[in-house]
Amino acid sequence: MPKLRVGVLVSHNGSNLRALHQASLGPDAQYEIVAVISNNSGSPGLAYARENRIPSAHLSGRTHPDPDRLDDAIRALLIEHSVELVVTAGYMKKLGRRTRREYAPRIINVHPALLPLFGGPGMFGTHVHQAVLDAEAAVSGASVHLVDDE
């Protein structure tokens, strides 16, 4: 049975990308990471992808100042690599309308805390974990959800 072809979008460290990639190398893995996109040319996640020979690209407002052209470039790269599932893993930008429509409902987001308790503006990276600690939450966890137009 062919493996599910996954594209991952990251902005910074790429810790979830690393975990997903390492898991994909296991003998029972049912997916493979075939493309990585980052909006940050200096992203350690992008560097990790390149070090591990995963096809990758820096696509951002710097490379494509027009938001519609950026959306088209992201969508085209995902299509070029025959991506079947898109994972936003610490990706700090909203995907463009064309990309969302092309891949709905096959876009999922990984968030490092329980939503909606610890989500929204500023809730990324260590800020999320600090908010959980500051709230003295009795329970914590991660969230994975479908990405749509909402």
pTM: 0.91
Q: Render each residue's pLDDT in the chain as its tens digit; 150 residues.
A: 899 999 999 999 999 999 999 999 999 999 999 999 999 999 999 999 999 999 999 999 999 999 999 999 999 999 999 999 999 998 989 999 999 999 999 999 998 877 777 777 776 777 777 787 877 888 888 878 889 877
Residue ranges of the alpha helices (H) in the chain? Answer: 15-24, 44-51, 67-80, 97-103, 125-134
Q: Which residues are known catalytic residues?
A: 111
For the segment(s) 4-110, the CATH number from 3.40.50.300, 3.40.50.170, 3.30.70.1280, 3.40.50.720 is: 3.40.50.170
Ranges of each domain in the chain: 4-110
